[in-house]
Chains A and B, each alone.
Chain A
Amino acid sequence: MKKYFSTHFLIYSGTISFLFIILIFTNNCSVSQFTTANNKSGMPDTITFTDSPKNPSATSGVGLANPAGQELYSQHCASCHGSYNNSAKFGKSLIEIQNAIKSIPFMKSLQSLDIDTLQKIANALKKADLPPEIISQPGDLKNPYICQSSQDPGFSDLKRLSKFEYLNSIKSIFNIDISQSPFQQAAQGIPDNSIQTLFTTSDNSLSLNHLEGFLDFSSLVADEILKNTSSWASLLGCTEANLKSDLCWSGFQNSIAKLIYRRSLKSTEIEELKAILNTSDLSGPEAWKSIIELMLNSNTFLYKLEIEGSSIQSRSDLFQLSQTELASKLAFSITGQGPNLQLIQDAESNLLADENFYNTTVKKLFNTEESKNHISHFYQEWLSIDRIPIPSQPNWFLQNISPQLLRNEAQQELKDFVKYYTLQTTGTYKDLFLSEKSFVAGPSLASIYGVESTFTTAPSTSNIMTQLNLSTATKSAGRAEGNGWNLTSNGKISFPFTFKSSKKYELSIVARSQLLSQMGAEAKLYMDTNQILNSFTVSNTTANEFKFNYTTSATTSGSSFSVEFINDAYNATTGEDRNLIIDSVKITEINLIDNSVTNTNMTQKEALLPSGERPGLLSRTGVLLSQGTSASLVHRGLLVRRNFLCQPIPAPDFSKIDPNLLTPAVSNPLSSLREQIEQRTSSVTCMGCHSLLNPMGFVLEKYDSIGRSRNKELVYDSQGKLIAEHPLNLTIHPNINSTQDPDVTGLKNLSENIVSSSRGPACFAEQWYVFSKGRSLTAADSCSMNFLYESLVNDKFQNNSAEKSATLIHMFKALPFEPHFKFKKIKTE
């Protein structure tokens, strides 16, 4: 680090409001310099890289090149853990080392080492691909990411489009509704991106199933869009009779082809594709289908190829993205799909090189619905919203709260919460953790939070009623009877229906039964195929109406709901035959009025939640929900450490752990959950991780397993009878920045510490960066992270987004302006 005479400075001009970056090169390396943009403001805007730094860790100041740290390691650690080069302790962080010293008896002698010494050892043990260690004290918002002058960008892999990006891009290119048949079914043939730690965007795997899924889907797209050749002809500006004409080709080349390849076709590509079009034994439609299928499976479409830019100082591993590659990166980073025609044309006209034009383009992209969906998608994965479980506690515990509805409402609240502070207001990182604003999405959550539901029903005149067609419904049994359907044996009648987000629906079923032994038909109501909404008994032989309410957490399409007859029976002696006859079914979409939205008085809205009870996201049911009657404290702790503080906790080695310890602790009359967990995890083997996990879980013990606030741990028997109580101990050692952190009591206190730490906001910025980049953080990303961090926390820092400083949206929109966004570094090691 000493070889550099300066670090870079981010100079803020509050009145001019634009970013001014100077990266000053080293005094002992050769220098290359180039201008990144045609800067019309007259201000310098330069970035400088050194020649071919081979070891990224050397430039970032962390990692393997740390002689002092190695020496200290040899002095204090090698006697037990082996020589530095053979150490099994590579990757151990400062916090882990501190915890080990604190908890392992034979390391007691090392307690005299000061933090600087430990830090140097930790840095020496740090793997090059790990993020920099964060050292700061509570309240210290020092930027933990050190951006060295001349530092290379972090590397970028060749990424294939995620399934999300692939489908969104095709939807956009061909203007087709991929949520409808037959595309929805075909899309199922493409494997979902698997979750890598938190985000699906990091999954870059490719299997035969992927390949065949892509091929099949593209084949279907080609068939469908060319099913009606007249519309295809009209789209391309040619006649149906002459699909092979130059006019036809020209229309395609200037529109669809550009959208698929995200740039204009090259001459060789034109030659290749036109050769297919002109193949004599292919009909016009068949030739076009071949071309579409080929292009949609090309490496140009399936991968985010970034290979055409200008080399920096003739280096083979570092270059500036070409204009179309930059347009593509902007589109995927901001909207989750490829660029539109205008953006491609702007790029090819070199307009993105103009900083003002670039800024305007970024702003336009962020203002699209696709961008809002993309940011919501980030939150959905960061908060694992799709993985919130459906509660399975017994009804005595749930107190008549519908498990499905509770999950839906919990998901919706998290979505509304982050949307409000990110996209609807200029919310801050602090708001995420300390806001007491209610986003109750329905009565279940309202009862858990102890607030009144803000939803009321609008006048019935605004409701939309849909009478469903029984004759076209899917049936698994029975036969038509009059205008209805007789389920003569156990089976289902299913209706496709699209349920909209945050709407309340009333499902009305008019049904009657043929009785057996005076017992009527029992039925279940399903959403999709396996979510049981309700059960009901049809006891009368004359028609009765059965009504059920349903509230969705998100707009569904391709969904269905079904009525299932489950107790078919026939008595051969008496001739009685129990059947269920459905006479009619209707769905009424009830227009809800959210009074909290119409009430613009923030104070009143925030007052909806009891003061001090529910600070921020960590207090919300969507974060707290688990399936047992005992709160899952360790898992809550894991969530906080992994998702909110970016501290990866490795899975335990199950082969070395007493299996009895792996069974989750359950409330019992003799000892509290906290006592049980502390006792179970007290061994040296466990404490390495649990010293981090447990405290976060203990604070969240304030809430039971569905998020109800409580002042005592209540112990029930299996029938729901209260048999014991334990006082809650919500005081913990948080260990957010370091082991020196003072104790905190309660979630609000903890959340304040997270907000005021460096680690908390650094983690949030890191998560957005990792989601966008599609890989985990490396030390070489520190310049990018430095910029995002400043955008999130520094109220005097302004990036070019024109958003308010130190807000969430300011950080999200910082991405295209971070100093390395326009560059590509190839991994060389």
Chain B
Amino acid sequence: MKLKQLNRRQLFSELGTYSIALPLLPSLWGDKACAQSSVTKRFITIHNGHCQAVEQWLPNPSLFSFKSRSDTTREINLKDIPGNISSVLGSSFDSIRDKLTLISRLDSTSGRPNHNAEFILSGGVKGDIPNTLDQIISKKLNQNASTNLFIKSVFDEYNSGASQVSLLNGNYNAGDFNPSFIFDKLFSSTLTPVTGQLDPKVKRRALVIDHLLTAFKSIESHPRLSKDDLRNVQNHKELLFQVEKKVKAKVAESSSTTSLNKCSPTTSITNSPVKSGNAADYQIVIDQMFDVLELGIKCGKIQVATLMLHVYDYFAGNVGFIPGINSQVRLHEDIGHAASAETRQMKLALNQFFAQRVSRFLKNLNTTENSANGTTYLDNSLILWANDQGSLQDTNGHTSLNVPVLLAGSAGGFIKSGRYIDYGNAYTGDSAKRAIGGNEYNTYQFGRPYNQLLITIAQAMGLSSRDYETSGQSGFGFYGDWVSRYTAAGSHQKEILPYINS
């Protein structure tokens, strides 16, 4: 076999001599965002942990009437909810109500969730599954690079588990906590090669696939293959073509990086106050993190990212700077694991604080990305904002029934947004009853496994079950002992959430 005979190889060889900029972060999904000529789906996760009081989060059903879609699904258009959507969400989301999907009664099937974003991306804890959903989506979208952008809100000097972000191959991926550092990595010319070759791994993969395709084509005609053997060889070859397609996309991606570098954000993020002794810097760091996300998305440099707001060790957990929270009050011990009326109000204040940051971020993304069809960055994204804890009157038990979920955007139209959907068996005789709240643990009507949301997200992002199922198990994520409660949810390990797209 001679190299000169192979056009594809010549192509890659020549590509290697071009001036192809290499994205420094493998997670930097090179898109034509700056040119605004095409649509790229994005998946962004925002996590905050503890301090949840679901009745504050959810709309009050005594103020409106649900429309029943089935025995286990009811919904209302968010625009039809009078006043604020809920105490936590307030009015700051009003202008984008049609871009939101609020969901209640998604339940953990595991009895042992913890604080981290890994739960809302897997339904379990470290060790339950090898990879979290962000990793799997990233791997799929980044042609197997298995990378993602992980960002934490603040510095955690203990580097304890509570400050980790998500899982790759069973190991935590610690996030970056310094917004200006991330900004530099994304946009600084000093960190972006001006000239160079393809990523060596991509180049190697391209070379290998090219040779393999030639070899598999050549063996196809071997007379000593039976029809079954031939089918197997052809199947192998077809799969190689699929891999080649991904590699080519990666090569094209790299070649477009030069233009990406021209995307110069007008806002610069510098001197982030990490390791600050000033508790109020907490807010600045979080705001800057959202700014980095926004800029990265708009410049096509971020396609998958996970932002974890909750780091309770920071500033000794003191969140007294938040309006409505007394000074010297600790997030974890004083608010998270407490149930008095006073601390309940603090939870509300804390979540309202986060809600304002999130709404600002979402509204900033709701600007036109594609002038041809008028879709916005938000439309083409799927943003999951969730908490790892849910239903109980307090969060002492770390129980994750009725995990609060807000989806923003529609992943390019996959999600039919603008609704509040409540899953689970009806509350007989009390249609106005809240999905959960207060002391209603004993009467809680179980909804659907939270994992079904993860399947929905995966499919919304273009993944098939083959991409996210592992070891022959249907569904995605960790299915704990409580999964047997959800027989009424039918094929929840195979199907997306009902009515989520219709």
Contact A294 B208 (CB under 8 A): yes
Q: Which residue of chain A has the shortest Cβ distance to B197 in the bound complex?
A: A281
Contact B162 A192 (CB under 8 A): no
> Could you say which of B61-69, B82-90, B93-101, B125-133 contacts chain A?
B125-133
A316 to B223, CA, bound (A): 8
- A117 contacts the other chain (CB 8 A): no
B130 contact set on A, CB distance < 8 A: 185, 188
- A251 contacts the other chain (CB 8 A): no
Contact A276 B207 (CB under 8 A): yes
- A212 contacts the other chain (CB 8 A): yes
A480 to B235, CA, bound (A): 54
Contact B127 A530 (CB under 8 A): yes
Contact B334 A157 (CB under 8 A): no
**Residues of B within 8 Å of A, CB-based: how many?**
67
Contact A211 B239 (CB under 8 A): yes
B338 touches which one: A271, A279, A568, A572 (CB < 8 A)? A572
Given A206-B236, A827-B228, decide whether A268 and B1 contact each other with a Cβ distance below 8 A: yes
- A800 contacts the other chain (CB 8 A): no
- A197 contacts the other chain (CB 8 A): no
Contact B240 A211 (CB under 8 A): yes
**0/1 interface trace, chain B 119-142, chain A, CB 8 Å (1 if under):** 000000111101000000000000
B472 contact set on A, CB distance < 8 A: 191-192, 194
In whole Å, how far is A220's beta carbon from the nearest beta carbon of chain B?
10
Contact A206 B232 (CB under 8 A): yes
> Could you say which of A16-24, A471-479, A677-685 contacts chain B?
A471-479
Interface set, chain A 373-399, CB cutoff 8 A to B: none
Contact B233 A299 (CB under 8 A): yes
Contact A157 B228 (CB under 8 A): yes
- A360 contacts the other chain (CB 8 A): no
> Could you say which of B32-40, B71-79, B211-219, B269-277 contacts chain A?
B211-219
Contact B398 A480 (CB under 8 A): no
Contact A489 B144 (CB under 8 A): no
B2 contact set on A, CB distance < 8 A: 271, 275
A204 contact set on B, CB distance < 8 A: 232
> Could you say which of A285-293, A344-352, A610-618 contacts chain B?
A285-293
A281 contact set on B, CB distance < 8 A: 13, 16-17, 197
Q: Which residue of chain B has the shortest Cβ distance to A479 in the bound complex?
A: B158
Q: Which residue of chain A has the shortest Cβ distance to B247 in the bound complex?
A: A215
- B47 contacts the other chain (CB 8 A): no
Contact A293 B144 (CB under 8 A): no
B116 contact set on A, CB distance < 8 A: 476
Q: Which residue of chain B has the shortest Cβ distance to A283 in the bound complex?
A: B200
Given A272-B1, A477-B161, decide whether A826 and B224 contact each other with a Cβ distance below 8 A: yes
**Is the interface on chain A under 10, 10 to 19, 20 to 34, or 35 or more residues?**
35 or more
B448 contact set on A, CB distance < 8 A: none
Contact B162 A476 (CB under 8 A): yes
In whole Å, how far is B47's beta carbon from the nearest beta carbon of chain A?
15
A279 to B471, CA, bound (A): 40
- A52 contacts the other chain (CB 8 A): no
Contact A294 B127 (CB under 8 A): no
In whole Å, how far is A481's beta carbon from the nearest beta carbon of chain B?
11
Contact A155 B236 (CB under 8 A): no
- A219 contacts the other chain (CB 8 A): yes
A359 to B54, CA, bound (A): 74
Is the contact region of chain A dominated by helix, strand, or loop, or is it mixed? mixed
- A402 contacts the other chain (CB 8 A): no
Contact A827 B207 (CB under 8 A): no
B332 contact set on A, CB distance < 8 A: 489, 570
A415 to B223, CA, bound (A): 44
- A740 contacts the other chain (CB 8 A): no
Interface set, chain A 768-826, CB cutoff 8 A to B: 826
A390 to B336, CA, bound (A): 37
Q: Which residue of chain B has the shortest Cβ distance to A302 in the bound complex?
A: B236
Contact A477 B162 (CB under 8 A): yes
**0/1 interface trace, chain A 531-572, chain B, CB 8 Å (1 if under):** 000000000000000000000000000000010101011101
A329 to B1, CA, bound (A): 28
- A461 contacts the other chain (CB 8 A): no
- B351 contacts the other chain (CB 8 A): no
B334 contact set on A, CB distance < 8 A: 570, 572
Contact B236 A211 (CB under 8 A): yes
Contact A192 B216 (CB under 8 A): no
Contact A476 B169 (CB under 8 A): no
Contact A219 B162 (CB under 8 A): no
Contact B229 A530 (CB under 8 A): no
Interface set, chain B 185-219, CB cutoff 8 A to A: 197, 200-201, 204-205, 207-208, 211-212, 215-216, 219
A215 contact set on B, CB distance < 8 A: 144, 205, 208, 243
**0/1 interface trace, chain B 311-347, chain A, CB 8 Å (1 if under):** 0010000000000000000001110011010010000
B227 contact set on A, CB distance < 8 A: 827
Contact A577 B160 (CB under 8 A): no
Interface set, chain A 511-529, CB cutoff 8 A to B: 528-529
Interface set, chain A 264-322, CB cutoff 8 A to B: 268, 271-272, 275-276, 279, 281, 286, 289-290, 293-294, 297-299, 306-307, 316, 319
- A491 contacts the other chain (CB 8 A): yes
- B259 contacts the other chain (CB 8 A): no
Contact B219 A299 (CB under 8 A): yes
Q: Which residue of chain A has the shortest Cβ distance to B17 in the bound complex?
A: A281
In whole Å, how far is A200's beta carbon from the nearest beta carbon of chain B?
11
In whole Å, how far is B316's beta carbon from the nearest beta carbon of chain A?
11
A319 to B222, CA, bound (A): 14
- A758 contacts the other chain (CB 8 A): no
A206 to B172, CA, bound (A): 30
From A157, A192, A530, name the one whose CB has the most chain B CB atoms within 10 angstroms: A530
In whole Å, how far is A31's beta carbon from the nearest beta carbon of chain B?
23
- A342 contacts the other chain (CB 8 A): no
In whole Å, how far is B152's beta carbon from the nearest beta carbon of chain A?
15
- A209 contacts the other chain (CB 8 A): yes
B169 contact set on A, CB distance < 8 A: 185-186, 188
Contact A476 B205 (CB under 8 A): no
Q: Which residue of chain B has the shortest Cβ distance to A278 in the bound complex?
A: B3
In whole Å, how far is A111's beta carbon from the nearest beta carbon of chain B?
43
A480 to B313, CA, bound (A): 13
Q: Which residue of chain B has the shortest Cβ distance to A311 in the bound complex?
A: B224
Contact A572 B219 (CB under 8 A): no
Contact B226 A477 (CB under 8 A): no
Given A206-B236, A211-B239, A290-B204, decide whether A477 and B338 contact each other with a Cβ distance below 8 A: no
Contact A307 B222 (CB under 8 A): yes
B396 touches which one: A474, A477, A569, A577 (CB < 8 A)? A569
From B17, B197, B204, B472, name the one whose CB has the most chain A CB atoms within 10 angstroms: B204
In whole Å, how far is B484's beta carbon from the nearest beta carbon of chain A?
12
- A490 contacts the other chain (CB 8 A): yes
A724 to B203, CA, bound (A): 73
In whole Å, how far is B384's beta carbon from the nearest beta carbon of chain A?
22
B340 contact set on A, CB distance < 8 A: 572
A158 touches which one: B3, B205, B229 (CB < 8 A)? B229
The 3 lowest CB-CB distance pairs between A and B, nearest first, are: A529-B127, A476-B161, A158-B229
What are 12 A-to-B residue pairs whose CB atoms are below 8 Å? A155-B226, A192-B472, A211-B236, A212-B243, A298-B212, A307-B224, A478-B158, A479-B160, A492-B126, A530-B128, A570-B332, A570-B334
- Interface residues of A, Cβ cutoff 8 Å to B: 155, 157-158, 160, 185-186, 188, 191-192, 194, 204, 206-212, 215-216, 219, 268, 271-272, 275-276, 279, 281, 286, 289-290, 293-294, 297-299, 306-307, 316, 319, 474-480, 489-492, 494, 528-530, 562, 564, 566, 568-570, 572, 577, 826-828
14 more A-B contacts (CB under 8 A) besides A185-B130, A211-B243, A293-B204? A155-B226, A186-B169, A204-B232, A208-B242, A208-B466, A268-B1, A275-B2, A316-B223, A476-B161, A478-B161, A479-B313, A562-B127, A570-B333, A827-B226
- Interface residues of B, Cβ cutoff 8 Å to A: 1-3, 13, 16-17, 112, 114-116, 125-128, 130, 144, 158, 160-162, 164, 169-172, 197, 200-201, 204-205, 207-208, 211-212, 215-216, 219, 222-229, 232-233, 235-236, 239-240, 242-243, 313, 332-334, 337-338, 340, 343, 396, 398, 466-467, 471-472
